[in-house]
A and B are shown apart, each in its own frame.
Chain A
Amino acid sequence: MDTFGHIINGFNVALMPINLWYTFLGCFMGTIIGILPGIGPAAGIGLLIPITFGMDPTSALIMMAGIYYGAMYGGSTTSILINTPGEASSVMTALDGYQMAKNGRAGAALAVSAIASFLADTLGIVALTLLAVPLAAIALKFGPAEYFCLMLFALAAVSSLTGKSAAKGIISTVLGLMIATIGIDLQSGQPRYTMGVPELQDGVGFLIVVVGMFAIGEVFSNLEEHIKGKAEIIRLKGRLWLTREEWRRSIMPIIRGGLIGFFKGVLPGAGATIATMLSYTVEKRVSKHPEKFGTGMIEGVAGPEAANNAATCGAMVPLLTLGIPGSGATAVLMGAFIMYGIQPGPLLFEKRPDLVWGLVDSMYIGNIMLLILNLPLIGIFVRILYIPTGILLSLILAISAIGVYSINGNTLELQMALMFGIAGYLFRKIDIPLAPMVLALVLGGIMEQSFRQAMTISGADPKVFVGSAICIILLILAAVMVLLPVVLPRLRALKEGPEDLDS
């Protein structure tokens, strides 16, 4: 069957009643996770993976992806209504969105962010559909050396772009790679760094780290914020729609934001958060009234919201075609793929076209569902915000326990998750980004494998890593990524602000 046939056939998979139901469930839970202040997409996916045990992998992944883009979609609500971004990628939305809400235009702000998200998402999925096949075809030509260089580049990009300091990003990455080496070495059968603990023989479970660092660690940070005091919720007033004037002002920012977002999303490390900042800066620059930004300009909501969601789709491109996630949340998504025994990457397009295209096509459908969930029904979801924070955070801790325990039924793993939680809390305090570590943990095993395979093929000659043009280009790009923040301090201005990317 040709590619076009596969894409059409994907709709057959995505439109199966059971998969429609899981798309809906994923989008629904994603919206809630996006709205909940204490929990981001990465933690949300990690916590909800246990629900899908025993499900068909295609359905499970359709639901997981729904949680991912649903959470990115829903993150704007809290930015607008309580000036508390649900995710790092909605920080820019809060600048003008919250002001709009204070000016009595909360309905318009929510509407424009839902419409911008919908349009940009659709644009992003079309681009994903078009880009996936040629990219996967190129990736099929990659040998182990090329793969190793590609992963090195992805890790370098994420390390240097996610935090305020490149050095801290690299420390986070290397720690993740080190955790990935714990357990029995697959090629020699030697246990490494297990300290005689039998639970460590299979390595440190991915979910333990994700739930610990993102869910438990995030709750600890939030508890601290909670004790400090809390924000006031602005009640939803007025019609959830735009005036003709607001439409006219929003459409170009949506298109520009969508394009910026998609390309930033495809590149590793850049991701949604930086795309939103870039879009906001662009809108401010092209506007005739840049001084009014920050006082409730609808352009400042439309652009970043479009960028945020297009980047979400863009981030699916390297994940599906190369098997290399570019952010914390997509790394967790990849972890979910691997838990179902599915290795994302170019081969998947040949082996399981039904799964890949079923998943991509389900995003078209999920996107429509999200528009409905976020426009007419947003008033219902907003009620979640009235749950007292103290209760909400306590419940997330209990849910974390269920999530970790359900994997192996082991309480030692619960204690390990708690330790990662404390580590995650501390890392946030000292500005070490978490996304590079999780990404490194997911890629670590594959990275070492390709490193050793390449060296085996070359007879332990390290020149293999500069043996092809692709390798050399990727290595140069990786070096540029690490050196860029040092050489170009001007870029720092762009990165100041949110501490965490796409966590």
Chain B
Amino acid sequence: MMRDRIIGAVALLLAAVYLYATKQIPTLEIGDPLGPKAFPVLLGIALIAAAILLFVETLKKDDAPPVKAPREDLRYLWLIGGVTVWTALYFWVFDHAGYLLSTIVYLLVLTAGFNRGKWRANILTSVLFALGSYILFVRILGVTLPKGVPPLESLSSAVDAVWAFAAKAIRGG
């Protein structure tokens, strides 16, 4: 199968890069006699061996039926590519915009794409999930999540204040 040969070739390339990077590790006369390179060299060789084994396997399977229609695959490529870029963007602004704001916007767009037409449910889920998870993780479980930089930080601060007020009211009876 063509696809498996490509995988084998990529594995060989990776092994070469890895072995080259291994050569760059400076060797000092301290530590154990083997040094930091020996084990990685074995790994590089193992990857080459596995790639060769894969080539051997493809020889037996050459009569396998061809893979499915490429046009369909292309459509999913767009889909996954879009989600990837959107997620990368989300992670990019995570620190600056703060968890709350970035998550609400991130989820609004995702649910609009994958749960089409249900505007009310999507908006409700996005906002309530972001709020709920923020309170659960930051306020109750003590996990650190970003609040955002000054002008954008006010949203997190407002939630913090409301939560503190509510907690106080409950505790005070």
Scan A381-402; emit 1 where CB is below 8 A from any B CB, else 0.
0000000111101110111011
Q: How many residues of B contact A (CB 8 A)?
A: 68
Which A residues touch B50, using CB under 8 A?
A: 167, 170-171, 174
B91 within 8 A of A: yes
B28 with A190: CB separation less than 8 A: yes
Tell me whether A405 and B46 are in contact in the complex, defined as CB-CB below 8 angstroms, given that A171-B54, A187-B32, A223-B79 are known contacts: no
Tell me whether A455 and B32 are in contact in the complex, defined as CB-CB below 8 angstroms, given that A395-B107, A405-B146, A406-B143 are known contacts: yes
Kindly specify which of B117-125, B148-156, B159-167 makes contact with the partner chain.
B117-125
A190 with B143: CB separation less than 8 A: no
Which B residues touch A397, using CB under 8 A?
A: 87, 106, 110
Bound-state Cα–Cα, A193 to B79, Å: 33
Which A residues touch B7, using CB under 8 A?
A: 168, 171, 430, 432
A488 within 8 A of B: no
Shortest CB–CB separation between residue B133 and chain A, in angstroms? 6
B26 within 8 A of A: yes
B84 with A393: CB separation less than 8 A: no
Which B residues touch A415, using CB under 8 A?
A: 88, 91-92
B125 with A395: CB separation less than 8 A: yes
B133 with A165: CB separation less than 8 A: no
Bound-state Cα–Cα, A188 to B118, Å: 58
A178 with B47: CB separation less than 8 A: yes
A398 with B103: CB separation less than 8 A: yes
Bound-state Cα–Cα, A398 to B129, Å: 9
Contact of A187 among B36, B92, B113 (CB under 8 A): B36
Shortest CB–CB separation between residue A323 and chain B, in angstroms? 19
Which single residue of chain A is at the shortest CB-CB distance from B36? A185
B83 within 8 A of A: yes
Contact of A223 among B39, B80, B99 (CB under 8 A): B80
Tell me whether A388 and B118 are in contact in the complex, defined as CB-CB below 8 angstroms, given that A181-B43, A190-B26 are known contacts: yes
Bound-state Cα–Cα, A397 to B88, Å: 11
A224 with B80: CB separation less than 8 A: yes
Bound-state Cα–Cα, A489 to B57, Å: 12
Chain A residues 146 to 191 lying within 8 A of chain B, measured CB to CB, are: 165-168, 170-171, 174-175, 177-178, 181, 185, 187-190
Which single residue of chain B is at the shortest CB-CB distance from A416? B91
A391 with B33: CB separation less than 8 A: no
Tell me whether A394 and B21 are in contact in the complex, defined as CB-CB below 8 angstroms, given that A171-B51, A187-B36, A401-B90 are known contacts: no
B residues sitting closer than 8 Å to A (CB atoms) are 3-4, 7-8, 11, 14, 18, 21-22, 25-26, 28, 30-36, 38-40, 43, 46-47, 49-51, 53-54, 56-57, 76, 79-80, 83-84, 87-88, 90-92, 94-95, 99, 103, 106-107, 110-111, 113-116, 118, 121-122, 125, 129-130, 133, 137, 141-146
- Ranked nearest first, the 8 interchain pairs of A and B with the lowest CB-CB distance are A390-B114, A390-B115, A167-B54, A188-B31, A414-B91, A170-B50, A394-B110, A167-B53
